[in-house]
Amino acid sequence: MKRISPLLLAAFLLSFSALSPSAQTPPANSHLELPATDDGLPGAGPIRRYDWFRKLWLEKRTAFAKHLQQDQGALVFLGDSITQGWGDDFKGKFTGIKVANRGISGDTTRGVLIRLQEDVLDVHPAGVVLLIGTNDLEENADPETIAANLKLILAKLKESNPKMPIILCQVFPSSESKKRPASQIKKINRLYAAAVKGDAQITLLETWVLFANPQGDAKAEEFPDLLHPNEIGYAKWAAALRPLLATLDFLDTTPDQFTPEPGFVSLFNGRDLTGWGYRPTSEGDIRAAKREQGRPNAPAWPIVTEAVNFDGKTASDDGRYVAKNGRLIVMTAPEYRRIQEISTTREFPKDFILKLEFRAAPYADSGIFIREHQLQCRDYLLAGPYKDLKQYKPQDWNEIVIAVTNNVAYCTCNGEVLEAAYKVPATGPIGLEGDRGQVEYRRIRLQELP
């Protein structure tokens, strides 16, 4: 038998391998790999390319792709290791919500921008909770670049679904020892707030002030490595999100079944704003509004010239106040801070006892008006003025009781005294106001005394 030349055999095998489908077809998940260079990629700033990150990026994105169909229509949490740290079960904090975790440890704003379409938009999410930006700082990105990437991320999310709610979490505090100084994080958060100002589709969640110590760093008891939250930190983050998720119809979707005590009359029926409206802005408030004009970050003071009645409406005409499942919600203002008071159309000249419950988002600032005099109603432990309360439950329901006798109000929160002798006018309505962040009220009832 004639022997084949080794050179001829090698050439034949090389030719055959070139025609082999496996040689011509890239791996099925090659499109999920981290791009080798920045050429043609959207955004600016750092993309991590460490070996460990390349490996994790591909592993996580491959897993995301496998769950694409089952995650359709989920509430997507998007971010880096802090988001990844929720795990797939989200520590049991969001029972009843279909959730999908799209966090990748070590990711940056630009990394999120690159993977946004396949990892998030292809899921057709019902909503997105976004936390990103801390790793950019470690890679020496400046706050302006980080904020510019964020704007691109938000623009793509909004373009994909102009009605999809987005919760933008402020970048959490960390430490200068982690190359994440408080001054830089605060600047990023200011830029983030400016980027979403006036955008009703996006809710800004005050997470930085929720976690920062007086020096502006992460608390070791909540962030042991000064970067990643522990179980306490995740529980606080979940609690901060729950009121917003309720307003966005992910939670608390059934009516609150509550019957007032004998002798009490409901001021809010839980279904709509019947009995409530806007009163003409007082001359004093008009003067105050004019003084505020031109000041940086001054709150907006809408001027009401004629009384407005919201009977039968589920929301005020400007969307500031919403009735939903037993809750009267003071919505987070798109302008970040906006003052506007809603009042009962009735006045109450007799002595009375007013009871209600409220739930405030982190650092939220609101108020209860007793015949036009305001009692501060806030996320007290963060926003004050009653920071020493022992029974206050952050981001949970708290009861306010106001007893008015001879034009003096005695006010308590969960039984603790807020004001023991608060002077109020001889008559007037009950009012609610919102300044900063979301506050909800429910079970608003009043008993007139003989």
pLDDT in tens, 361-392: 999 999 999 999 999 999 999 999 999 999 99
Encode 75-140 in three state secondary structure: EEEEECHHHHCCCCCHHHCCCCCCEEEEECCCCCHHHHHHHHHHHCHHHCCCEEEEECCHHHHHCC
The predicted pLDDT at position 373 comes to 95
User: pLDDT digit string (tens) for 296-346?
Assistant: 666 566 778 889 999 999 999 989 999 999 999 999 876 645 667 999 999
Of 441, 438, 122, 21, nearest to 258 (Cα)? 441
Domain ranges of the chain: 42-247, 265-448
Q: Which fold has domain 265-448?
A: Jelly Rolls (2.60.120)
pLDDT at 13 over 60: no
pLDDT at 439 over 80: yes
pLDDT of residue 288: 66
Q: What pLDDT does residue 282 have?
A: 73
Q: How far is CA 193 from CA 134, 297, 417, in A?
A: 16, 11, 35
CA-CA distance, 66 to 60, in Å (whole number)?
10
Domain 42-247: give its CATH code. Answer: 3.40.50.1110
Indicate the pTM of the whole model.
0.89
* The residue to which tokens 């008071």 are assigned: 341
* Whether the Cβ atoms of residue 97 and residue 75 lie closer than 8 Å to each other: yes
Six-digit token string for 326: 């037993």
Q: How far apart are the first and last CA of the chain?
A: 122
Whether residue 20 is predicted with pLDDT greater than 60 in this model: the reply is no
